[in-house]
Chains A and B, each alone.
Chain A
Amino acid sequence: MKKIEAVIRHFKLEDVKNALTEQGIQGMTITEVRGFGRQKGHTEMYRGTEYTVDFVPKVKIEVVVPDGQLHNVVDTIMRVAQTGQIGDGKIFVIDLANTIRIRTGETGEDAL
């Protein structure tokens, strides 16, 4: 099993969710996050006073998949969330030790 954490643009969330649902993904977790990558932040100006905003708002999707689905899911997120502009985000893939469904006690891929 792998855990995929994808940090993407807000307006791409709906498209990515729909695309992953079509892939058979049954659950995901969404978090509002702030951060920066190579593009850094941006400056804002209020009546002549400049403020540098270091952390840019993004949305993080966490989804756990069987090893066999990893490639397709990563590929889907890449394809759907991409605009080609700087600031499209990143995908992190993490080896997962176990998953447990609290209601039934199922473990591993059965719990996904």
Chain B
Amino acid sequence: MSFYQAGKWLLLASILAFHVSPTTARAQDSAPKLGMNAGTSSSATTTPGDVATASANYTVPAYLQKQVGNAALAGHNAWMLVSSALVLLMTAPGLALFYGGLVRKKNVLGVMMQCFFLMGLNSVIWALWGYSLAFGGDPRSKNFNPWIGNGDYLCMHGVERTWNVGTNQAETPMFAGYPGSIDPIPRLTHMLFQGMFFIITPALICGAFAERMKFSTMVVFTILWGTLIYCPLAHWVWWGGVLQYGSAHLPGWAAGGALDFAGGTVVHISSGISALVCALLIGRRLGYGSEPMPPHNLTYTVVGAALLWIGWFGFNAGSELQSDAIASSAFAATHFAAAAGAITWAAMEWFIRGKPSVLGACSGAVAGLVCITPASGFVNPMPAIAMGIAGGVVCFTACTGFKSKFRYDDSLDAFGVHGVGGTLGALLTGVFATRAVTDANHGQPLGLLEGGSLLRGQIVAVLATWVFAIVGTFAILKILDALMGLRVTQQQELQGLDVSQHGEEGYIFI
């Protein structure tokens, strides 16, 4: 069908769908939503009286419903595929450049390799069992396990396109969504989008053990951490598990459950806290505190931070899982929080140290982005700016104050930015989340500011994630330390990871 024809059908459908009775509208899955939106503009060219006469006693034909459904699907799916690519952009080049610039020259390839290799490794794990463990099972079923997924989607079974011999047609499994208000997108798209999160989360941890961890151990650590920590957490918070707000499987201790729009608990707290455990168990870099270890190329870091900012739009606005008004709201909140974070961190340095540093502005933007992540689909732009400012202030204090006071070597501040910023964001979600943006509580107040009780569930989820990440990461690292060792030898560390782990140099000028 040509684009013109499709547009004509869409216009007709929108006029009709806008005026059909509410009962008919609710009976459709995706058609009414699109019709409601498009109907606003179509009424400008048609007088209300005409439409009222034309639509009286009219039921939308099935073929028309299908056309509208297809148009809606095309929009949602296009946005989600773009979002998936944007999230992948965050790991490499975004994070790889951001971290790559912050390490010393002899370790630039080492840290970039960690980011790039994980794009491969975690994608394969996700396809084999990760997606199934995180999103397997039907939350509406009585037999649903709220702690971990199941084998429904192992090796992409039930996700990939298949040939149905009975109907003689190809079929693509669709993602119906949970708790149920989401228009279906192909399950393949949902799998891809969530898979990008599975890639970047362990990559964030690399910032804590940069410049000293054995590559082989890092690989095994990532497989175990992703399987045993990330997948259950994603299931708890995003797939009807024990921590999800409004889940039918919430235990009493969850205090109503938590809202986590794009991964404050699942991504940032889990990776940030695990990063701190890694930094403490692996120990400080040789010469830490006595030798200068400044970033070797801050220009990389600036480019990386800018790419992270851009990619984060997919991360947060894509987490709506469709292209609608909440996606726009999440986009705006994300942008304002990043902007506020950038200027706040730089302003604090300007005020306290006399100069606003470039690294400070970049760090502040990332801190603002981390802080807004759990709240992005639940708050308006002004609270988002407040959260960005809070993220800038608190993460600045964590990175410059706590670290030097307690003398742990979180090389690239994975804990200071992601652990602290994620925790702050999750708690502030409980303060600022509003029913004006989300209908998570069926029109009842949510955040503390509008008199809701969401904050209690947020606190419980934060504590649960902290405990789970600390205990799990500690156990994994202890086992790996005994089996294969965590750290490179002193000689290898002095030589740099580029040569000792990969046999290459980052900079060869001939």
Contacts and interface: CB of A to CB of B under 8 A. Distances in A.
A28 B389 CA distance: 55
A51 interface: yes
B294 A48 contact: no
B359 A46 contact: yes
Contacts of B21: none
A48 B353 CA distance: 9
Nearest to A48: B400
Report whether over half of chain A's contact residues are helix, strand or loop; otherwise say mixed. strand
A48 B399 CA distance: 7
A51 B360 CA distance: 15
In this complex, the member of A48, A49, A51 whose beta carbon has the largest number of chain B beta carbons within 10 angstroms is: A48
A51 B294 contact: yes
Contacts of A48: 396, 399-401, 403-404
Nearest to B354: A45
Interface in B347-406: 349, 353, 355, 357, 359-360, 363, 396, 399-401, 403-404
Contacts of B353: 45
Contacts of A46: 294-295, 357, 359
Interface range, A side: under 10
Contacts of A38: none
Contacts of A110: none
Nearest to B358: A46
B400 A47 contact: yes
A44 interface: yes
B295 A45 contact: no
A47 B294 CA distance: 10
A47 B101 CA distance: 14
A52 to B, nearest CB: 8
Interface in A64-90: none
A49 B413 CA distance: 12
A102 to B, nearest CB: 25
Interface string A28-54: 000000000000000011111101000
Chain B contact surface mostly: helix
B503 interface: no
Nearest to B413: A47
B254 to A, nearest CB: 36
Name, among A44, A47, A48, A51, the residue most crowded by chain B CB atoms within 10 Å (CB to CB): A47
A45 B354 CA distance: 11
A103 B89 CA distance: 57
A47 B359 contact: yes
B292 interface: yes
A46 B359 CA distance: 7
Interface string B292-316: 1011000000000000000000000
A44 B363 CA distance: 17
A48 B403 CA distance: 10
A51 B292 contact: yes
Contacts of A44: 294
B399 A47 contact: yes
A45 B404 CA distance: 14
A57 to B, nearest CB: 15
Contacts of A47: 359-360, 363, 399-400, 413
B401 A45 contact: no
A48 B400 CA distance: 5
Nearest to A47: B399
A5 B495 CA distance: 36
A47 B403 CA distance: 10
Contacts of B349: 45
A46 B358 CA distance: 9
B355 A45 contact: yes
Interface in B383-437: 396, 399-401, 403-404, 413
Contacts of B396: 48
A48 B363 CA distance: 12
A58 B349 CA distance: 29
A47 B415 CA distance: 14
A47 B298 CA distance: 12
Nearest to B295: A46
Nearest to B417: A47
Nearest to B353: A45
Contacts of A49: 294, 400, 404
B346 to A, nearest CB: 12
A44 to B, nearest CB: 6
A82 to B, nearest CB: 27
A49 B355 CA distance: 13
A46 B292 CA distance: 11
Nearest to B397: A48
When A and B form their complex, which 5 residue pairs have the shortest distance between CB atoms, in order from nearest? A48-B400, A51-B292, A47-B399, A51-B294, A46-B294
17 contacts: A44-B294, A45-B349, A45-B353, A45-B357, A46-B294, A46-B295, A47-B359, A47-B399, A47-B413, A48-B396, A48-B399, A48-B400, A48-B401, A48-B403, A48-B404, A49-B294, A49-B404
